[in-house]
Homo-oligomer: A and B are copies of this chain.
């Protein structure tokens, strides 16, 4: 699915790539922060609070991707019923994993 030689159709989230990148870099830093907390044997309730903050940040990233995908689907697959069904199924698989 990668390895394309030429102009890939812009992904839904391409426009927000910078913002996404920034958010993920911050999340990476938060995970490193938790590692340090564990190394320092910080109180586990404080560690848990930090983990909840990371979960919330990941949810925001995920919801942003879902949002882009839905908009992208509707533009892209509008005329093509089979493509539409395919994209909806993929989407619902992803949302289902997030929800449960």
* Residues of A in contact with B (beta carbons under 8 Å apart): 1-2, 8, 10-14, 17, 20-21, 24-25, 27-28, 31-32, 34-49, 51-52, 54-56, 58-59, 61-63, 65-75, 77-79, 84-85, 88, 90-100
A31 closest partner in B (C-beta): B28
> If A24-B31, A28-B35 touch, does A70 touch B45 (CB 8 Å cutoff)?
no
Q: Is the interface of A mostly helix, strand, loop or mixed?
A: helix
> If A73-B70, A99-B62 touch, does A17 touch B44 (CB 8 Å cutoff)?
no
Copies, count: 4
Question: Within 8 Å CB of A97, what residues of B?
Answer: 48-49, 52
A42:B92 contact, CB within 8 angstroms: no
Question: Within 8 Å CB of A11, what residues of B?
Answer: 41-44
B99:A2 contact, CB within 8 angstroms: no
